[in-house]
Amino acid sequence: MAENDKNIDVKQQDFTKILILTLASIVIMFIVFAGVNYVIMENLITQKISTITASQEELDSSEGEGDEIQKGIIVDLGDFILNLCDETQKKYLKVNVAIEVTKKDTDFPAEEETKGGGGHGGHGAAAPVDPMEAIQNEMNQYKPAIRDAVITNLSSKTSTELATTAGKELAKEQITNDINSILAGEREVLRVSFGQFIIQ
């Protein structure tokens, strides 16, 4: 009986030692894993931040360079109410279209030229022309052809095509190409914008 008690005590001591060793090894593995994970994550975060910072700087510098080139003059083409090309049911499109065209070097004369003609003795001279008004007058000669191109393009579409973003973007691209061929290099369309866009 005493031998059995000794065997049980030895087994309990062995079990306790094994349990302590197992728990200690689990704690050590956890600490090592947490340390390695921390180092890896710290390096990844640092690399990610430097990459984001570098790409943001590149983006800022490229935006700064490209802003002047990409800004144009807005010409409002007005509202259009069109029949769409749906076969099953008559659908109508009401849309407001504006285009942005490139500037010319001669559009905005230097400040000296605009100020030089003024003064008290300038009553007999022609009044200085507003550059925006001159551009609008220039574009008015193209407006009928441009409006026709917009009408032809949009009325050839179905309501399903124009209901998607991709369909609208495709229509804008086609309108841009059509108008650029009308302007024949005098100006270039930078972008086409749809204001109100209602399909009924």
Q: Provide the CB-side half-sphere exposure for 14 (13 A, CA).
A: 6
Stronger pLDDT, 3 or 164, i.e. the higher one: 164
106 secondary structure, DSSP code: T
pTM of the full structure: 0.55
Average pLDDT over residues 3-14: 71
**Mean of pLDDT values over 52-69:** 60
pLDDT tens for 117-151 read 555 555 555 555 666 777 777 788 888 888 899 99
Structure tokens at 190: 């930078």
Q: Residues 19-23: what's their mean pLDDT?
A: 90
